[in-house]
Amino acid sequence: MIIAVDGPTASGKGTLAKALAAHFGLPFLDTGLLYRAVGRQVQINNGNPDNPADALAGCDFPDSILDDAALRTEAVGGLASRVSLHPVVRAALNKRQVDFANQPGGALLDGRDIGTVIAPHADVKLFVTAPAEVRAQRRYDEMQRHGINVRFADILADIHARDARDMGRADAPLKPAQDALLLDTGDLTIGGAVQAAIALVESRL
Ligand code: C5P
């Protein structure tokens, strides 16, 4: 079984994807980490994320970098969103994701283009959303918990910018696959969203 989970930033798709992978016993790949790894390499190299050659040079990263806490920062998330616009970067990261999706026994991947580009043949495609204000509030609360001082308005503006880049790009824009099941987590607790996601997957088995 292949499950594709896509959705915008801070929609809760990462948490849902992990819970679904554990529930259905599937190997899990957070594909955002690959783009974050490229963004991080560009940061380390002092490169320009908007320059395709610099971004492509960042695609040469060791697997070990995927566990690095530095990939989780807002700054690296922003760089990931910029390097992911380049078709050469998407192409460089494609095979790794396609191979992971098609391993014997199945897999669950989360990202932006899993149901549309990486695994259009997936058995189940979930598109996870929530209103931008709700996503900004979640990110704001999480940062407060970690003692990071930020303005809500800045977080919201960043979410809008990230959405515009992810949805507006020419190559593999973020959008639900035609046969995707939509899940809006705006009014749901984490537990409620996990239960709803499991029910949606089971409805397709
Ligand atoms: O999901 P995450 O926030 O870690 O992703 C970081 C960025 O990587 C996203 O904003 C998006 O631009 C890009 N990305 C992508 N395709 C994917 C996964 C992530 O373009 N499959």
Domains, the chain, in order of start with CATH, read 2-196 (3.40.50.300)
pLDDT of residue 31: 98
Cβ–ligand 1 distance for 113 under 6 Å, the answer: yes
- Residue 205: pLDDT above 90? no
* Cα Rg, the chain, nearest whole Å: 16
Give the pair of three-digit tokens for residue 145: 């918990």
Angle, alpha carbons 41-46-48 (nearest 5°): 90
pLDDT of residue 74: 86
Cβ–ligand 1 distance for 80 under 6 Å, the answer: yes
Could you tell me the pTM of the whole model?
0.95
Distances (CA, A) of 45 to 81, 157, 178: 17, 27, 39
- State the distance from the centre of ligand 1 to the C-alpha of 165, rounded, in angstroms: 10
How does the average pLDDT of the chain come out, rounded? 96
Cβ–ligand 1 distance for 31 under 6 Å, the answer: yes
- Residue 104: pLDDT above 90? yes
